[in-house]
């Protein structure tokens, strides 16, 4: 809009200046013609009333005194030339008598002689001043040419320049006002347009597949903005449909994976149970004196496999539905220290900066977090390693209780760091890979965090943070 205003203003100024110049030329042309008509009529009157014979040679005598009177009356310079272009008499006060007397240019003289009206206007520029020189035949009463009348006319530009200057001043004032108005209108118009675009941009940034996305409602938007909003709202509808289908697909996939895992873990103890039953059936002899001992071994084997299957079912049950939190106000330092008492490893070391850090947590779940982390730490240290150390530290920081479990085991490889809390992921030959996933779920239920730092070959440190709430 500012650009259009600027271009329009420049065009208006250019057209106006051109119009002023055109009107000025027409004004001077008309003025010269009026002067020429008036002077010609006056000259004809002099010729009709003179006592001198009407000849070319008598023109200086006829207009000897009258020429100055005519020049004063009409405020014009008047020159008389003979038919060959030589000056006869002029209203100029002084002329030098020499051989450089003014003469009509031969080319101009030919144009005058060849024209039908016997009249010609010549334009000349002298020192940045524009002159119009009118040449016309002077005739007697019988229309016989006597000479050539020359009326030099200077186009005075002061009036024209003043008009142009005044116009440009007024136009400049109006243009500045228009320019300011256009800037203000451009600002509000662009704000109005970009406001709608900003709303759409913000909504696009907030759009996520796993969230309920709000539609955009703008009542006074332009046609293009409304089309864009309509496209966005249609995309939101399709996104919700896709999210629903994806969620259903993910749930089905998760159940399939869980079913495969459960089937695999339950199938593992079923195979030795089957082999044990088949072996016992083949070798069963009621008369064998060791039958009681064999029956006892058989029973123990079956019960051991049943316990394994029960632990598998319990692990998956705990992962699927965590037990309700039984929060109580407890001393975290005391609970952590008590949880470490079940471990027989003498290389487990405990330290606390304070004897008492009170927080509101579930005792059982806190013990579960500690035992799981310490158990993983002990399993990460190779049996053949000579120097084994596990540090368990409890301290307070920024209204949070923090528990650090650090070992000097084999560490976690870089490719496994992103999957360490993933369910079913494990680097051990035994276990189902649910321990860290379960305790991460416990910690996050308390709005806490669990992080770790590991260096392959040197060990790992897990850091658990719980907010202190009383």
User: What does the pLDDT look like over 221-266, one tens digit per residue?
Assistant: 667 777 777 787 888 788 777 777 776 777 677 667 666 666 656 6
Write the pLDDT tens digit of every residue in 322-377. Answer: 555 678 889 999 999 988 888 888 899 999 989 999 998 888 888 889 988 998 89
Pair of tokens at residue 312: 């598998």
* β-bridge mates for residue 113, sequence order: none
pLDDT in tens, 160-213: 677 778 888 888 888 888 888 888 888 888 877 777 777 777 777 777 666 666
Q: Do 24 and 159 belong together in one domain?
A: yes
The residue ranking higher by pLDDT, 379 or 428, is: 379
Quick one: average pLDDT of 289-298?
77
Mean pLDDT for 314-327 is: 60
Domain of 219, in residue numbers: 209-321
In the three-class reduction of DSSP (H, G, I as helix; E, B as strand; rest coil), residue 120 is classed as strand
Shared domain for 360 and 231, answered yes or no, is no
Within-domain flag for 285: yes
**422 and 444 inside one domain:** yes
CA-to-CA distance for 183 and 1, rounded, in angstroms? 8
Average pLDDT value for residue range 113-141: 80
Specify if 203 maps to a domain. no
Question: Do 313 and 233 lie in a common domain?
Answer: yes
One domain for residues 310 and 346: no
Q: How many residues make up the chain in this entry?
A: 470
Q: Is residue 204 part of a domain?
A: no
CATH code for the domain of 387: 3.30.565.10
Is 58's pLDDT higher than 70? yes
* Any domain includes 451: yes
Q: Which residue has the tokens 């709303």?
A: 199
Last residue within a domain, chosen from 321, 354, 380: 321
**Boundary residue ending a domain (321, 356, 382):** 321
Query: Which two structure tokens, joined as six digits, stand for 35?
Result: 């002067």
Could you tell me if 331 and 316 lie in one domain? no
d(CA 414, CA 71) in angstroms, rounded, equals: 111
What is the reported pLDDT for 211?
A: 63
Judge if 29 and 149 occupy the same domain.
yes
Per-residue pLDDT, 395: 94
Q: In sequence order, which residues have a C-beta less than 8 Å from that of residue 103 and are 6 or more positions away?
A: 81, 85, 86, 87
What 3 state SS string does 198-210 have?
A: HHHHHHHHHCCCC
200 lies in some domain: no
How far is the first Cα of the chain from the last one, in angstroms, to the nearest whole number? 64
Q: 81 and 227 share a domain?
A: no
Question: pLDDT tens digits for 68-115?
Answer: 888 888 888 888 898 888 888 888 765 454 456 678 888 888 888 888
Which DSSP string do the residues of 377-434 spell out, in sequence order?
HHHHS-TT-SS--EEEEEEEETTEEEEEEEE-SS---GGGGGGTTSTT--SSSSS-S-
* Domain match, 120 and 248 both: no
58 within domain boundaries: yes
pLDDT at 429: 47
Residues 146 and 260 in one domain: no
Give the domain CATH number at 30. Answer: 3.30.450.20
Does residue 136 lie within any of the structural domains? yes
Q: What is the pLDDT of residue 183?
A: 84
CA nearest 237: which of 225, 227, 248, 229? 229
Q: Which CA distances in Å does 439 have to 237, 359, 366, 453, 462?
A: 37, 18, 9, 17, 12
Question: Is the separation of the CB atoms in 155 and 130 below 8 Å?
Answer: yes
Clarify whether residues 296 and 340 are in a common domain. Answer: no
Q: Which of 273, 294, 321 is the last residue of a domain?
A: 321
Q: Write down the pLDDT at residue 451.
A: 92
Residue 459 pLDDT > 70: yes
> Can you tell me the distance from the alpha carbon of 332 to that of 339, in angstroms, rounded to the nearest whole number?
10
Residues 46 and 102 in one domain: yes
Q: For residue 435, tell me if it sits in a domain.
A: yes
What's the mean pLDDT in 35-46?
87
212 or 469: which carries more pLDDT confidence? Answer: 469
* Predicted pLDDT at 271: 61
**Strand 348-352 versus strand 358-362 pairing type:** unpaired
Question: In the structure, what pLDDT confidence band is assigned to residue 127 with cuts at 50, 70 and 90?
Answer: low
Q: What is the pLDDT of residues 400-441, one digit of tens each?
A: 999 999 999 988 888 777 777 776 555 554 444 567 887 888
Name the domain count of the chain: 3
């Amino acid at each position: 809009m500012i650009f259009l205003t600027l271009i329009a203003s420049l065009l208006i100024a250019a057209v106006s200046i051109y119009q002023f110049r055109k009107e000025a030329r027409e004004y001077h042309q008309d003025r010269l013609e009026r002067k020429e008509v008036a002077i010609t009529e006056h000259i004809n009157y002099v010729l009709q009333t003179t006592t001198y014979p009407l000849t070319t040679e008598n023109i200086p005598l006829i207009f000897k005194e009258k020429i100055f009177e005519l020049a004063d009356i009409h405020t014009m310079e008047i020159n008389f030339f003979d038919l060959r272009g030589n000056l006869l008499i002029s209203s100029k006060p002084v002329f030098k008598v020499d051989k450089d007397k003014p003469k009509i240019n031969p080319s101009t003289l030919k144009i005058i002689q060849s024209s039908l009206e016997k009249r010609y206007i010549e334009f000349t520029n002298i020192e940045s001043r524009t002159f119009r020189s009118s040449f016309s035949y002077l005739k007697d009463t019988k229309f016989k040419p006597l000479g050539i009348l020359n009326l030099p006319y200077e186009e005075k530009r002061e009036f024209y320049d003043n008009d142009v200057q005044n116009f440009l001043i007024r136009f400049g004032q109006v243009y500045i006002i228009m320019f300011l108005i256009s800037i203000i209108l451009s600002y509000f118009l662009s704000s109005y347009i970009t406001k709608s675009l900003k709303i759409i941009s913000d909504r696009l940034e907030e759009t996520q597949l796993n969230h309920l996305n709000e539609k955009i409602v703008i009542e006074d938007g332009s046609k293009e903005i409304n089309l864009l909003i309509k496209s966005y709202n249609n995309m939101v509808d399709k996104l919700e449909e896709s999210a629903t289908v994806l969620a259903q697909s993910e749930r089905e996939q998760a159940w399939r994976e869980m079913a495969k895992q459960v089937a695999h873990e339950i199938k593992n103890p079923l195979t030795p149970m089957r082999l044990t039953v088949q072996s016992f059936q083949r070798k069963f002899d009621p008369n064998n004196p060791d039958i009681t001992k064999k029956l006892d071994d058989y029973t123990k084997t079956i019960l051991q496999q049943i316990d394994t299957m029960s632990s598998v079912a319990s692990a998956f049950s705990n992962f699927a539905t965590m037990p309700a939190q039984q929060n109580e106000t407890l001393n975290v330092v005391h609970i952590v220290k008590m949880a470490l008492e079940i471990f027989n490893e003498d290389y487990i070391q405990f330290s606390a900066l304070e004897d008492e850090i009170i927080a509101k947590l579930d005792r059982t779940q806190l013990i579960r977090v500690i035992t799981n982390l310490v158990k993983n730490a002990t399993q990460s240290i190779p049996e053949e390693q000579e120097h084994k150390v596990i540090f368990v530290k409890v301290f307070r920081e920024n209204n949070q209780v923090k528990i650090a479990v650090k070992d000097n085991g084999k560490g976690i490889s870089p490719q496994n760091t992103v999957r360490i809390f993933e369910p079913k992921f494990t680097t051990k030959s035994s276990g189902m890979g649910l321990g860290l996933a379960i305790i991460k779920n416990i910690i996050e239920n308390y709005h806490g965090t669990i992080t770790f730092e590991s260096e392959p070959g040197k060990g790992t440190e897990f850091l658990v943070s719980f907010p202190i709430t009383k």
